Amino acid sequence: MLFDSGVPVVQIPCATVASHLLTTVSELNEYVRPQGAMGIYLADIFSDYGKDGIARSKEVWDLSAIAWLLDESWVPSAVVPSPILTDQVTYSADAARHPVRMCTSCRRDPIFGDLFQKLMRLAAGELSPSWS
């Protein structure tokens, strides 16, 4: 198991941390869809997840790891003993275990702000995609 391996780990829990990365179809239609083919593609994928409309938001879990790599202050963390995953699929603690970095929250606004600004710069030709 990863937590038993001793390798350096940064854990970003989904249910209590990455779940803060919520956005809506309306927000993506305003800031992402107008940004060319990439914006249309991303907004369409997001829209397909839920068509129930009113007051609908969805997590974009994947942004959490990228956000931590870009700016650790966007995903605050603490160094803690590596958790032990039990047979009951819960965590147990042992202060003598090797340390891991556990993220404790996500600052949603700067994370989405960075994404939206980069998509705008990409569409304006001010930023080259990393795959080109």
Residue 29 in tokens: 């239609």
pLDDT band at 47 (very low <50, low <70, confident <90, very high): confident
Q: Which of 17-26, 36-45, 54-63 has the lowest mean pLDDT?
A: 54-63
pLDDT of residue 127: 82
Per the model's pLDDT, the better-predicted residue between 54 and 58 turns out to be 58
pLDDT of residue 29 exceeding 80: yes
Share of the chain above pLDDT 70, in %: 95
Share of the chain above pLDDT 90, in %: 75
Q: Which residues of 54-90 are buried (b: 16+ CB within 10 A; e: fewer)?
A: eeeeebbeebbeebbebeeebbebeeeebbeeeeeee
pTM check: above 0.95: no
Angstrom CA distances, 101 to 44, 49, 89, 95, 112, stand at 34, 31, 20, 14, 23
Q: What is the pLDDT of residues 71-104, one digit of tens each?
A: 999 999 999 999 998 999 888 999 999 999 999 9
Residue 99 in tokens: 């340390």
pLDDT of residue 9 exceeding 70: yes
Helix (H, G, I), strand (E, B) or coil at 84: strand
For the chain, which domains are there? Answer: 2-123 (3.90.245.10)
